[in-house]
A and B are shown apart, each in its own frame.
Chain A
């Protein structure tokens, strides 16, 4: 039997188009794009600059330390929000049903969102780093800047999975609230805004197990600040959280499939 020529659209241009669309969707929502890019800079201006040159441990200034904190905060923020809110919104308006009826493979959709989120994260760093350098007078070895950037970007992958899970578990109107309720307290508890020593003791006792804690340690270590345990341990814990978040996301995705598409 003659097999009919398989005709499908090429994947590379499809991925480019999809990524461009995902990017524009986020870029044109100032509530997302402006806050993700400028909020960390603002925090840095308010908290970091004033005591930027204060030395907090040998060779480490508060300016550099808080730069690492804000880099971690802003990138995780982009990952969770861009994924969580766009997935929840698109489910809410049944965009997912229309998309599903098209010949676009689901992984293109997923991958385009990942690329967009990483690109957005890179933009926030591209704004934050020069700001800290110029306004905060942060002087680091070129290799330290590089290490901070790649660790913060690579370490953000578990938070993509977390955003994805929240996007599937919460409604279009509740996603923002759910994310803020989870993200802001854990950012505080992990010492991203002020030292953990100032936190209530019961929070201090759970803080060392939070994913943002390990993520933060990767950043602080990158600029030469002392951290608890080794960098390898931080990576392993973060990878473990990544697996857990990914499993939750997959479960939530499957649950949705069962409801909507069977």
Chain B
């Protein structure tokens, strides 16, 4: 049984820019994978290769073992892209019905609309929808074909916190049907909430591929925050820390050995107040993975 989606030593150049520098990635059926990385890291390019919207400069992209633009492969895939338009004069139910007709075994129209939480907008024209509702309509269009694999490129971009939270629940609901979900995001809590596997991409390369927990343990496990009025760069030199951020008098350190760090800071006679030690979340882990030069 071929993998759901596969990149094999895939590179992609746009003119002189090298967007992907050799990515190998296998996504099995049933996996929920988050591709994480800063803007311009190569996430959207990876998705475009997997969907056959772009062709790799070298290497391969496969969907169910087929060329990604093969209609048999596409018939099993639902997709939500960044900033793609839909005709503003069509009604929600009309465009959902249109997209359902593209797929061999679509789900019922009302079910797709309900999965996106757009029941009350069934008869509204697209132009009457708010930004968040449009985003949910794209989700309805992505799931209405009842696909085996769902690709979501930055699905919650531009949503407020509440909108994002409920949207994540809708994606999770779809994943619980045993489907494969591949999403790109730079909202890091999304990856943590949804995915069992996180692929961190930076500058066209995969720099980490593990569970959210592993990624957290691999890098800075603890976050140390405190205030120090007269801290100099020299005070932090040689400490076992991954990254440090100093703004005014507030200091934030990421480290796996908070005790050793604090012991050394006390030994150096640094005056500390409002000390706080907590577990690093994925966002912290992510920052320390993709930080190229330590900030101080």
Chains A and B bind each other: yes
Q: Residues on A close to B: CB < 8 A?
A: 6-9, 13-14, 16-18, 20-21, 24-25, 28-29, 90, 92-95, 97-98, 100-105, 261-262
Say which residue of B77, B94, B104 sits within 8 Å of A9 (CB atoms): B104
The complex places the Cα of A94 from the Cα of B75 at a distance, in Å, of 21
Contact (Cβ within 8 A) B53 A17? no
Number of A-B contacts (CB under 8 A): 91
The contact string, 1 if C-beta is below 8 Å from chain A, for chain B 101-114, is 11111100000000
Q: A7-B72, A7-B104, A103-B75 are in contact. Are A97 and B54 (CB under 8 A)?
A: no
Contact (Cβ within 8 A) A98 B87? no
Contact (Cβ within 8 A) B98 A17? yes
Contact (Cβ within 8 A) A21 B81? no
Contact (Cβ within 8 A) A261 B53? yes
Contact (Cβ within 8 A) A21 B79? no
Residues of A within 8 A of B106 (CB): 9
Q: A95-B85, A261-B53 are in contact. Are A103 and B74 (CB under 8 A)?
A: yes
Say which residue of A6, A21, A92, A103 sits within 8 Å of B98 (CB atoms): A21
Q: How far does the Cβ of B287 sit from chain A's closest Cβ, in whole Å?
A: 31
User: What is the chain A residue whose CB lies nearest that of B105?
Assistant: A7
Residues of A within 8 A of B71 (CB): 8, 103, 105
Say which residue of B53, B77, B101, B141 sits within 8 Å of A14 (CB atoms): B101
The complex places the Cα of A6 from the Cα of B94 at a distance, in Å, of 27
Contact (Cβ within 8 A) B85 A9? no
User: What is the chain B residue whose CB lies nearest that of A11?
Assistant: B101
Contact (Cβ within 8 A) B75 A9? yes
Say which residue of A7, A16, A17, A29 sits within 8 Å of B75 (CB atoms): A7
The complex places the Cα of A90 from the Cα of B85 at a distance, in Å, of 8
4 additional contacts (CB under 8 A) given A102-B145, A103-B103, A261-B54: A7-B72, A14-B101, A14-B102, A24-B94
User: What is the chain A residue whose CB lies nearest that of B95?
Assistant: A21
Residues of B within 8 A of A16 (CB): 101
Residues of B within 8 A of A13 (CB): 101
Contact (Cβ within 8 A) B84 A97? yes
Q: How far does the Cβ of B89 sit from chain A's closest Cβ, in whole Å?
A: 4
Residues of B within 8 A of A18 (CB): 98, 101
B97 within 8 A of A: yes
User: What is the chain A residue whose CB lies nearest that of B72?
Assistant: A6
User: Chain B at the A interface: mostly helix, strand, loop or mixed?
Assistant: loop
Contact (Cβ within 8 A) B84 A102? no
B157 within 8 A of A: no
The contact string, 1 if C-beta is below 8 Å from chain A, for chain B 80-100, is 010111110110001101110
Q: How far does the Cβ of A29 sit from chain B's closest Cβ, in whole Å?
A: 6
In B6-30, the 8 Å CB interface with A consists of none
Residues of B within 8 A of A95 (CB): 84-87
The complex places the Cα of A90 from the Cα of B103 at a distance, in Å, of 22
Contact (Cβ within 8 A) B53 A101? yes
The complex places the Cα of A93 from the Cα of B105 at a distance, in Å, of 28
Q: How far does the Cβ of A98 sit from chain B's closest Cβ, in whole Å?
A: 4
Residues of B within 8 A of A90 (CB): 85, 87
Contact (Cβ within 8 A) B99 A102? yes
The complex places the Cα of A179 from the Cα of B21 at a distance, in Å, of 44
User: What is the chain A residue whose CB lies nearest that of B89?
Assistant: A28
User: What is the chain B residue whose CB lies nearest that of A29?
Assistant: B89
The complex places the Cα of A98 from the Cα of B53 at a distance, in Å, of 9
Q: How far does the Cβ of B15 sit from chain A's closest Cβ, in whole Å?
A: 11
Say which residue of B52, B74, B87, B145 sits within 8 Å of A21 (CB atoms): B87
User: What is the chain A residue whose CB lies nearest that of B91?
Assistant: A24
Residues of A within 8 A of B197 (CB): none
B55 within 8 A of A: yes
B51 within 8 A of A: yes
Contact (Cβ within 8 A) A98 B101? no
Contact (Cβ within 8 A) B101 A9? yes
Residues of A within 8 A of B74 (CB): 101-103
Q: How far does the Cβ of A26 sit from chain B's closest Cβ, in whole Å?
A: 8
Return 7 A-B CB contacts under 8 Å, by A number: A8-B71, A9-B103, A14-B101, A92-B85, A94-B83, A98-B86, A101-B52
Q: How far does the Cβ of A75 sit from chain B's closest Cβ, in whole Å?
A: 23
Q: How far does the Cβ of A93 sit from chain B's closest Cβ, in whole Å?
A: 3
User: What is the chain B residue whose CB lies nearest that of A13?
Assistant: B101
Residues of B within 8 A of A261 (CB): 53-55
Q: How far does the Cβ of B131 sit from chain A's closest Cβ, in whole Å?
A: 14
The complex places the Cα of A24 from the Cα of B84 at a distance, in Å, of 20
Say which residue of B85, B101, B104 sits within 8 Å of A94 (CB atoms): B85
Residues of B within 8 A of A98 (CB): 79, 81, 84-86, 141
The complex places the Cα of A94 from the Cα of B106 at a distance, in Å, of 24
The complex places the Cα of A28 from the Cα of B101 at a distance, in Å, of 22
In B38-69, the 8 Å CB interface with A consists of 51-55
User: What is the chain B residue whose CB lies nearest that of A95?
Assistant: B85
Say which residue of A8, A17, A28, A262 sits within 8 Å of B97 (CB atoms): A17
Which of A13, A16, A29, A104 has the most CB atoms of chain B within a 10 A radius of its CB? Answer: A104
